[in-house]
Amino acid sequence: VMSSGWEIRMSNSKGIPYYFNAATKQSSWDAPSELSEDQIKSLPGSQHLSGGSSGGAGTITASHLLVKHKDSRRPSSWKEANITRSKEEATDILRGYQAQVGNSREKFEELANIHSDCSSHSQKGNLGPFSKGQMQKPFEDAAFGLQVGEFSDIISTDSGVHIILRTA
């Protein structure tokens, strides 16, 4: 089979792996849909997929919509230099987004892109693949408890309040 040109590289800025195609110069946080699990595990650079040599084991991929508040560990974002809303206000705002999203991944990604106080807003909320031990515990517990395609309810971390969508 002709090599697809895909390889796995590590993003130093985000500390997570991404997929790069040397032939087409494409890059993507998500695994190319045309590749099977086995093909992904045998790509050059597959050692970057956390979860050791077994590739994806223990690794999930999720997106989130984060609304920060004045008590966030970093009450600032690409959107707002100094975030002063209360945690209650942030939760009310996020409930409003939750109602608009329903079960729609597309709507979630649209709102994450516009409103999320995380830099991942530019990736429609996508945080890329991660294993246990990388994210704050409340986020990790919620995300690893989701089925693929499932949304979390509103959860709180030191970053703010979030809704999570598990995507892989």
Question: Which residues are identified as catalytic?
Answer: 64, 118, 136, 159, 162
* Listed ranges 35-43, 66-74, 93-101, 105-113: which one lies at the site for ligand R2Z (CB under 6 A): 66-74
- HSE-CB for 128 with a 13 A CA cutoff: 23
Q: Enumerate residues 6+ apart whose C-beta is below 8 A from 72.
A: 83, 117, 158, 159, 160
Nearer to ligand R2Z, 14 or 95 (CB): 14
* Listed ranges 34-42, 86-94, 97-105, 126-134: which one lies at the site for ligand R2Z (CB under 6 A): 126-134
Q: Which of 54, 74, 103, 107 binds ligand R2Z (CB under 6 A)?
A: 74
Q: Enumerate residues 6+ apart whose C-beta is below 8 A from 166.
A: 60, 61, 62, 143, 146, 147, 148, 149, 150
Q: Does residue 48 interact with ligand R2Z by CB under 6 A? A: no
Q: Which residues bind ligand R2Z (CB under 6 A)?
A: 14-16, 66, 73-74, 118, 127-128, 130, 134-136, 139, 157, 159
